[in-house]
Structure 1
Amino acid sequence: MKSVIAGIAFLSAAVSVTPASAQTPCQPATYAAPDGDFVVLAKSPAVAAPALRYQFRDGRRGATSDADVPLACGAADVSVDGEVWKPIAFRETPASFDSVGTKMNGMLIEPSGQNAQRPLVVMVHGSERSSPIGGIYGYAMAAQGISVFVYDKRGTGGSEGEYTQNFELLAADAAKALDTARGMTAGRHGRAGFFGGSQGGWVAPLAATRTKADFVAVGFGLVASPIEEDREQMVSEVRAEGLGKDAEALVNRLSAATSKLVLTNFTQGYEVLDAVRREMAAQPWAAAINGEYSGAIARMTNDELKRLGRARFDNVELIWDYDAVAALRKLDTPLLWVLAGEDREAPIETTRAALLKLAEAGKPFDVYLFPDTDHGMFEFTTAADGSRSITRITDGYLKLLGDWIKGDTHGAYGRVERLTPR
């Protein structure tokens, strides 16, 4: 699953602030309001230095260089709506651990003070290759009173090995990360588990079957295989174009054809793919169909696919027909799953149905949905051509994650809908 790239247009409240160019340079830190609200300022590859990415607990985000940035930086604090917010002191401890013969690089972030009941969470990343160390999410969790362990995915950042999307190997790494974090926080943590976003929704529950975990939380992940994800993305694309059942049937046939190729290392399935290509050639909309990979496969020649297909589409050891439901059936750990209601990258129909069925069968699963949100729990605006522009993370999402991990969900969380009974 592709990582969420933050190119953010920000909807701000009407506040009067000093122009960004005249501000004191902002310092990476997490700043707290007297009432417990917070904003994280961090370096980001999506923001040109020396500006920083900012992220409020309520989901507002942008760059400190934005003309309408809703905060002003002081030498050791920030001002929001005229109120001074002070930096939160965290204890940050570099870490390394070995997993399946590979040295991994991590960081433990702990709120100040000793608390033997403080939750501990290991952040399980998505498919991105960037380091989560120093990123927004870890500090947004820690600002809510949670100890957080972040680590570089193998083959990225300071971790050795080769980048992969093999869920079994990534789950082994995550399990080892939790064991390491537990050892580092002995005597000063309570319940301990995983949070995974996007592709982490495949990895985190599997990791919880490989080591003891007290909880698993997932945001905008899938209970569907990568093959099903590709198919559902194409179905979502034809529905967004207002096309009918014939178009859905055609992209389903395309998915069946391309799945044969990827499951046989591009040795079988070409006759069926050719038949689908002939059908698609008569459809003016077919050139705009992408999915996760099927559109690109359909637009390559058979000779190209035989020579290059595996290198192009299967070079990261992806488990194409991964059975996520089987992993969840093994899981008796409390699980939170948060769905993005209009997720184009990870369409939710199969995932929602599978989770509710497992919950009805007695699994301790809490399923929530934020309406009108896309992958990453982003709200968006839609242009006349159907394209979307991200605005913000939906209000309530970060707070729901923090409260659920602490075992203390109460009150409202924006516009969230709970899909499972209490």
Structure 2
Amino acid sequence: MRPKIQLPRRGLRTAVWSLVTALVATAGLVGVVLWQHSYAMDEQRVSIRHGGHTLNGVLTTPKDGRKRHGLVVYVHGDGPVDATHDDGYRPLWEANAKAGYASLSWDKPGVAGAPGNWLDQSMDDRADETAAAIAWARARPDIDGDRIGLWGSSQAGWVLPKVAARTSVSFVIAVSPAIDWLRQGRYNLLAELRADGATASRISAAIAKSDTTRRLLESHATFEEYVKATSGDLDGMTADRWGFISRNHTANATQDLHALRGVPVLLALAGHDLNVDTAETERVYREVLDAGGALTAEHYPDATHSLLKQSIEQSDLKVTLTAFFSPRSLFADGFLDGQRQFLKELDRGGSATR
């Protein structure tokens, strides 16, 4: 008869405790992730009718027991953005909730099953859409119609003042907004080439192609003409994208910004912005809005265009891990608190400019 094989009692204890430790560590990590993705606000899906179709939105409200709240209406930047911006807005919404404000956002047309195509829109179309959302919000009993403002990033810089010209807003938070479409495009092109360490010949070739594109836009060229002029070197350009650029390439926010005179504006600018010339943006905002005494400009030296920490955004792995384990830490130091303080100051009647 074969002898029974037995683990040493000490070895068995070690194996059991190793398993227990692994299980506890796993449970701890799950707990951390769940806690980090639990936000101090209530969230609900909403539907907004506009132009014969439905905007699929998300409305978040503070958990403070109040029946009515002010509202921050979100205006997306470029690209196919859904209502939560792939969950990236939630830390911002939570900061708003801590200041006593609700937040409203919606899927762009054609995104996440929404009807339409966002590439068919002009900046005026986007402003009309936002004004309709504000009208919808004002009709709700849980929203204070006298405390509704806008939050917008990047491309939204051409939309925000157009909205203010259509309907009254109580404040604006403008994050990395550009002034002139074509100048912004050229700035972005050169900034990215320099960041890549491009050679002089590569830069010259890129500028030549950019100049060709500008001439085609000025002559109202078709997409087929663009394809022919660039010898098929489309660099991601599609017919829909060409149509979008053709409709919007003359956008310049300078004159539209006059609609924001006297409106409290928080201008958030990044120190490592490869997309927008922040010096031009701040100069124009100050020239147009400072006379009204309601502009606050905040600078985040270590931030990128998206107001994420540069040390994180430069690594896809860091972005993924931080978004998973500590999403609030994605943003530049002080960015979330700065918006919360801005909103609280509004309710206190403050209007100090910086």
Matched, 1:99 2:55: no
Q: How far apart, in 2, do the equivalents of 1:159 and 1:211 lie?
A: 25
Matched, 1:178 2:134: yes
Which among 95, 98, 109 is matched to residue 154 of structure 1?
109
Segments of 5+ residues of structure 2 without an aligned counterpart are 1-21, 319-329
> Could you say which residue in structure 2 is the equivalent of 1:394?
332
Give the match for residue 284 of structure 2. 354
Decide whether aligned partners of structure 1 residues 127 and 242 sit closer, same or farther in structure 2, where only a CA change above 3 A counts: closer
Match in the other structure for 2:11: none
The equivalent residue for 1:21 is 26
**For residue 377 of structure 1, what is the aligned residue in structure 2?**
307
- Alpha-carbon offset, residue 264 of structure 1: 2.8
Note if 1:324 corresponds to 2:253: yes
- With over 3 angstroms needed to count, the CA separation of the structure-2 counterparts of 1:388 and 1:192, relative to structure 1, is same
- Structure 1 window deviating more from structure 2 (313-322 vs 233-242): it is 233-242
Aligned to 1:335: 265
Amino acid of the structure 2 residue aligned with 1:156: V
Alignment partner of 1:168 is 2:124: yes
Q: 1:117 to 1:336 in 2, by over 3 A?
A: farther
Give the aligned CA root-mean-square deviation in angstroms: 3.9
1:303-314 counterparts in 2 under 5 A? 303-304=231-232, 311=239, 313-314=241-242
**Which of the numbers 335, 341, 345 marks the counterpart of 2:275?**
345
Tell me which amino acid in the other structure corresponds to 2:303: T
Matched residue, 1:224: 180
TM-score (norm. length: structure 1)? 0.62
Q: Counterpart of 1:171 in 2: which secondary structure?
A: helix
In structure 1, what residue type is equivalent to 2:334? Answer: G
Deviations 1:272-323 (A, max 9, x none): xxxxxxxxxxxxxxxxxxxxxxxxx89x8545379x9771641436401102
Structure with greater proportional helix content: 2
Contact 2:63 2:97 (8 Å CA) reproduced: no
Would you say 1:196 and 2:152 are equivalent positions? yes
Q: Which amino acid aligns with 1:365?
A: L
Ranges in structure 1 where 5+ consecutive residues have no aligned partner: 1-16, 32-38, 42-86, 271-296, 411-419
Tell me, in whole angstroms, the C-alpha distance in 1 between the residues paired with 2:208 and 2:82.
Answer: 38
Q: 1:337 to 1:248 in 2, by over 3 A?
A: farther
Q: Name the amino acid aligned to 1:218.
A: A
**Aligned pairs for 1:68-83 within 5 A:** none
CA distance, structure 2, for counterparts of residue 92 and residue 309 of structure 1 = 37
CA contact (8 A) 2:69 2:142 kept: no
CA contact (8 A) 2:191 2:275 kept: no
**Cα deviation, residue 256, structure 1:** 3.6
Q: How does 1:210-249 map to 2 (within 5 A)?
A: 210-225=166-181, 227-240=182-195
- Which amino acid counterpart does residue 407 of structure 1 have in structure 2? E
SS of structure 1 residue aligned to 2:272: coil
SS at match of 1:127: coil
Partner of 2:77: 126
Asked whether the 8 Å contact 1:141–1:148 carries over to 2, the reply is yes
What is the deviation of 1:103?
1.4
What is the SS of the residue equivalent to 1:316? helix
C-alpha separation in 2, matches of 1:400 and 1:321: 32
Residues 347, 145 of structure 1: alpha-carbon distance in 2 compared, 3 angstrom cutoff: same
Question: Does the 8 Å CA contact 1:346/1:375 hold for their aligned counterparts?
Answer: yes
Q: Is the 8 A contact 1:123 1:195 kept in 2?
A: yes
Distance 1:19 1:163 in 2: 47
C-alpha contact (below 8 Å) 1:93/1:109 kept by paired residues: yes
Quote the offset at 1:241 in angstroms: 6.3
Please, what TM-score do these two structures have when normalized by structure 2? Answer: 0.72
Q: Confirm whether residue 108 of structure 1 aligns to residue 59 of structure 2.
A: yes
* One-letter amino acid of the counterpart of residue 352, structure 1: E
Distance (Å, rounded) in 2 between the aligned partners of 1:241 and 1:119: 44
CA distance in 2, matches of 1:409, 1:20: 44
1:364 aligns with 2:294: yes
